[in-house]
Amino acid sequence: MAEPPQERTALRMVNIEKYFGSVCALKDINFEVGHNEIVGLIGDNGAGKSTLVKILTGVFAPTSGDLYIADRKVETNSYTVKKAHALGIETVYQDKSLGEKQVMWRNFFIGREMTYPFGFLKVRQEKAIASEIMVNTIGFRGKGIGVESKANKLSGGERQGVAIGRAMHFEAELIILDEPTVALSLKEVRKVLNFVHKIKDAGKACIYISHNISDVYEIADRFIVIDRGEIVASITKAKISLKELDEFLLEYSHGLKDKVQP
Ligand SMILES: Nc1ncnc2c1ncn2[C@@H]1O[C@H](COP(=O)(O)OP(=O)(O)O)[C@@H](O)[C@H]1O
Ligand SMILES: [Mg+2]
């Protein structure tokens, strides 16, 4: 029988370490994200989640270790946020993803404006694309929000939706959401979770970081638990119920970790 085709990965980290001076923020980080996998990254404050994300997105270089994106090795010393974009990695932050006073159509193209050879902005094209994303990808319909609205007119959940819609439009292969629902109402959180379902349906990958375990449970295919800079568990959703995951994390934070790591 023929070998099954090799699973492609969106991302792979091999023995990644990150020191800030003498402080070790990440140690022996080994994991991968499949090309259409949603991974929930779980850990206490200071565990190293954001540092891990910043290495992936070209903000920080790791102290050592290897990084592969879409199965290709990245030269980490010269890796930048711009290169990460070019490789299809987009990050959606809590609330700083949009320029507050900018109109929507401009917000979609920040850092990647469409211009004519002499530098003039392709305003008409940008507006048409922004409108297409707002209606079709994000589903803004007849709510008084259009391409000419300013970002500060949008609710928190809508902002997250715009940032995710933008990432999807630019065909990000891996979208990272680092605590996207902090300070959102329940209704808004629902919107963000629905956007993450759309990322899955669109065949893309996602790393979702949140303190809310039931949110993470709903959208993720697999959970990675990180504690004090080390990955301590990787559990697929099929193998654990929400209650069991909750119990595991509770037990873990109440001493199991000290038994595991003397
Ligand atoms: N730029 C930095 N300089 C020095 N230390 C940092 C920096 N960024 C993060 N750290 C440290 O690295 C550790 C992990 O932080 P972080 O990745 O932000 O955790 P998390 O996102 O899981 O809350 C913390 O001890 C934090 O103080
Ligand atoms: Mg963080």
The pLDDT confidence band at residue 197, using thresholds 50, 70 and 90, is: very high
- 91 and 177 housed in the same domain: yes
- 94 and 109 housed in the same domain: no
pLDDT (tens digit per residue) in 221-249: 999 999 999 999 999 999 999 999 999 99
Whole-angstrom Cα distance, residue 207 to residue 19? 22
- 22 and 133 housed in the same domain: no
Where on the phi/psi map is residue 178: left (φ > 0), alpha (ψ -120 to 50), or beta? beta
Whole-angstrom Cα distance, residue 169 to residue 153? 22
pLDDT, position 97: 62
Give the SS3 label for residue 64.
strand
- CA torsion sign for 138, 142, 145, 147 is positive
- Domain assignment present for 72: yes
- 94 and 21 housed in the same domain: yes
Q: What CATH number has the domain bearing residue 49?
A: 3.40.50.300
- 247 and 121 housed in the same domain: no
Detail the DSSP E strand segments found in the chain.
Answer: 9-20, 23-34, 38-42, 64-69, 72-74, 89-92, 174-178, 205-209, 222-227, 230-236
The pLDDT confidence band at residue 2, using thresholds 50, 70 and 90, is: low
The pLDDT confidence band at residue 258, using thresholds 50, 70 and 90, is: low
- As given in the structure block, the two tokens for residue 161 are 């939706």
Residue 208: how many other CB atoms lie within 10 Å:
27
- Domain assignment present for 223: yes
The pLDDT confidence band at residue 96, using thresholds 50, 70 and 90, is: low
Q: In the predicted model, what is the mean pLDDT of residues 120-131?
A: 90
Q: Is residue 231 within 8 Å of 30, Cβ to Cβ?
A: yes
Q: Which residues surround ligand 2, an ion (CB under 5 A)?
A: 49-50
**Number of domains composing the chain:** 2
- Domain assignment present for 250: yes
- Cα distance from N-terminal residue to C-terminal residue, the chain: 47
Q: Is residue 217 within 8 Å of 240, Cβ to Cβ?
A: no
Instruction: Please work out whether the CB of residue 210 comes within 6 Å of at least one atom of ligand 1.
Output: no
Give the SS3 label for residue 185.
coil
178 C-alpha to ligand 2 centroid (Å): 7
- Domain assignment present for 164: no
- 184 and 252 housed in the same domain: yes
Say whether pLDDT at 205 is over 60: yes
pLDDT (tens digit per residue) in 136-156: 777 777 567 888 888 888 877
pLDDT, position 36: 95
Whole-angstrom Cα distance, residue 218 to residue 68? 27
- 254 and 182 housed in the same domain: yes
pLDDT, position 226: 95
- 178 and 245 housed in the same domain: yes
- 32 and 88 housed in the same domain: yes
**Of residues 78 and 254, more confidently modeled:** 78
210 C-alpha to ligand 1 centroid (Å): 16
- Domain assignment present for 184: yes
Of 49-53, 126-130, 184-188, 244-248, the least confident = 184-188
- Domain assignment present for 138: yes
Which domain covers residue 130, as residue numbers?
100-153
| Protein residue with least CA distance to atom 5, ligand 1 | 20
Whole-angstrom Cα distance, residue 70 to residue 83? 13
- The β-bridge relationship of strands 64-69 and 72-74 is antiparallel
- 192 and 147 housed in the same domain: no
pLDDT, position 142: 59
- 94 and 189 housed in the same domain: yes
- The β-bridge relationship of strands 230-236 and 222-227 is antiparallel
- 141 and 192 housed in the same domain: no
pTM for this entry: 0.86
Shortest-distance atom of ligand 1 to CA 54? 17
